[in-house]
Amino acid sequence: MRIYILFILTIFTCYNTQSQNKREVYLRVDNDLFISTLRDRYYTNGVFLGYTHLIEKNNNYIVSYGLAHKMYNPRYRIVRNKEKVDRPFAAHIYMSASVKKITNDYSFNKIELQIGKIGPDALGEELQNLMHSIIGKTHPIGWEYQIQNTTAIQLNHTYARSLLPNSNHIFDIVADINTNIGTIHKNSNLSLAFKISLNGKTNLSKSILYNNHLNNSNNRETIIFLKPTISYVRYNTTIQGSIYDDLSPITFDINTVVYSGEIGFKAKREKYTYGYKAAFYTKRNEKAIENISYYGNIFYSYLF
* Domain total in the chain: 1
Query: What is the radius of gyration, based on Cα positions, of the chain?
Result: 20
Domain membership of residue 283 (yes or no) is yes
Does residue 272 contact residue 290 with C-beta atoms inside 8 Å? no
d(CA 166, CA 50): 33
Nearest to 70 by CA among 222, 236, 213: 236
Domain membership of residue 16 (yes or no) is no
Domain membership of residue 33 (yes or no) is yes
Mean pLDDT within 280-298: 96
Identify the residue with better confidence: 59 or 221.
221
Q: What is the pLDDT of residue 20?
A: 63
Does residue 30 contact residue 264 with C-beta atoms inside 8 Å? no
Nearest to 243 by CA among 182, 199, 195, 301: 182
Q: What is the pLDDT of residue 217?
A: 82
Domain membership of residue 126 (yes or no) is yes
The pair phi, psi for residue 155, each rounded to 5°, is -125, 120
pLDDT tens for residues 105-163? Answer: 999 999 999 999 999 999 999 999 999 998 888 899 999 999 999 999 999 999 999 99
Distance of CA 73 to the CA centre of its chain: 17
Nearest to 106 by CA among 30, 206, 21: 206
Does residue 210 contact residue 218 with C-beta atoms inside 8 Å? no
Does residue 231 contact residue 189 with C-beta atoms inside 8 Å? yes
Q: What is the pLDDT of residue 68?
A: 98
Confidence of residue 295 (pLDDT cuts 50, 70, 90): very high
DSSP E strand stretches across 3-130: 23-31, 42-55, 60-73, 90-104, 107-118
Domain membership of residue 85 (yes or no) is yes
Does residue 107 contact residue 71 with C-beta atoms inside 8 Å? no
Domain that holds residue 239: 24-300
Cα angle, residue 156 at apex, residues 155 and 161 outer, rounded to 5°: 155
CATH code where residue 114 lies: 2.40.128.140
Domain membership of residue 8 (yes or no) is no
Domain membership of residue 180 (yes or no) is yes
Domain membership of residue 73 (yes or no) is yes
pLDDT tens for residues 249-284? Answer: 999 999 999 999 999 999 999 899 999 999 999 999
DSSP-H helix ranges across 65-168 = 124-135
pTM for this entry? 0.90
